């Protein structure tokens, strides 16, 4: 996949991204706002594993966010199955030097139509820790609606925390 947007490119991860991935992902502030599947510290071994993992996917669901020729973040979905087959979990991260520039919002806006169409999805969900209003604003600007708060939903960094639930629903097929 390759989607150009006003501030960069969404594209497949590649071997050449290893150094960028380690440089930008190895950040406690980023780790603190993601699930524990995202390691910290983020090492070269983690980058090698991740790039191999996405390369082995039959249909990739995670992509690099490239700005100025560098992989500075990631964006993607986790597909669901069974009765949730028309839904996916949406997520993203961006290297701290690139925060506050509208990059993630622009990337999400560019990616949403493509992934809804490609995977036949109707609903994307995103959960955001209560301490992360910047990510909430990104989702809102990208067209997600806040559906509520999931109280005491997660333990992250030793803290029991609420999560805000956001969803993007393809309105043309919504009931």
* Span 5-24, average pLDDT: 97
What would the pLDDT profile of 108-122 be if each residue is shown by its tens digit?
Answer: 999 999 999 999 999
What would the pLDDT profile of 52-66 be if each residue is shown by its tens digit?
Answer: 999 999 999 999 999
3-class SS letters over 63-97 = EEEEECCEEEEEEEEEECCHHHCCEEEEEEEECHH
69 pLDDT higher than 80: yes
87 pLDDT higher than 90: yes
135 pLDDT higher than 80: yes
- Per the CB < 8 A criterion, the answer to whether 136 and 102 are in contact is no
What fold does the segment set 2-169 form as a domain?
Answer: Aminopeptidase (3.40.630)
* Span 159-166, average pLDDT: 98
Name the residue with tokens 């490239």. Answer: 66
Mean pLDDT of the chain: 97
Entry pTM: 0.96
Burial of 122 (0-12, 13-18, 19+ CB in 10 A): middle
Q: For residue 175, name the pLDDT band (cuts at 50, 70, 90).
A: low
Q: What is the pLDDT of residue 172?
A: 74
Q: What is the pLDDT of residue 99?
A: 98
- Per the CB < 8 A criterion, the answer to whether 92 and 74 are in contact is yes
d(CA 167, CA 63): 20
Sheet with 123-129, side-by-side order of all strands:
2-5, 8-11, 62-67, 70-79, 87-94, 123-129, 159-169, 145-156
* Span 141-168, average pLDDT: 98
Of 165, 162, 158, the closest CA to residue 32 belongs to 158
Could you tell me how many residues make up the chain?
175
Q: What are the extents of the domains in the chain? A: 2-169
The helix or strand, by DSSP H or E, that contains position 127, with its residue range, turns out to be strand 123-129
């Amino acid at each position: 996949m390759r989607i150009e947007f006003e501030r960069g490119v969404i594209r497949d991860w590649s071997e050449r991204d290893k150094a960028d991935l380690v440089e930008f992902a190895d950040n406690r502030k980023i780790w603190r706002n993601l699930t524990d599947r995202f390691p910290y510290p983020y090492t070269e071994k983690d980058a090698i594993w991740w790039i191999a993992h996405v390369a082995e996917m039959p249909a990739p669901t995670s992509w690099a966010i490239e700005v100025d020729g560098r992989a500075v973040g990631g964006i993607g979905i986790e597909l669901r199955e069974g009765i949730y087959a028309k839904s996916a979990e949406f997520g993203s991260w961006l290297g701290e030097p690139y925060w506050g520039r509208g990059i993630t919002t622009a990337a999400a806006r560019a990616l949403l139509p493509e992934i809804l169409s490609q995977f036949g999805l109707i609903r994307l969900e995103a959960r955001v820790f209560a301490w992360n209003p910047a990510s909430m604003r990104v989702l809102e600007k990208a067209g997600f609606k806040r559906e509520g708060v999931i109280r005491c939903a997660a333990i992250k960094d030793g803290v029991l925390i609420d999560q805000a639930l956001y969803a993007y629903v393809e309105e043309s097929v919504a009931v």
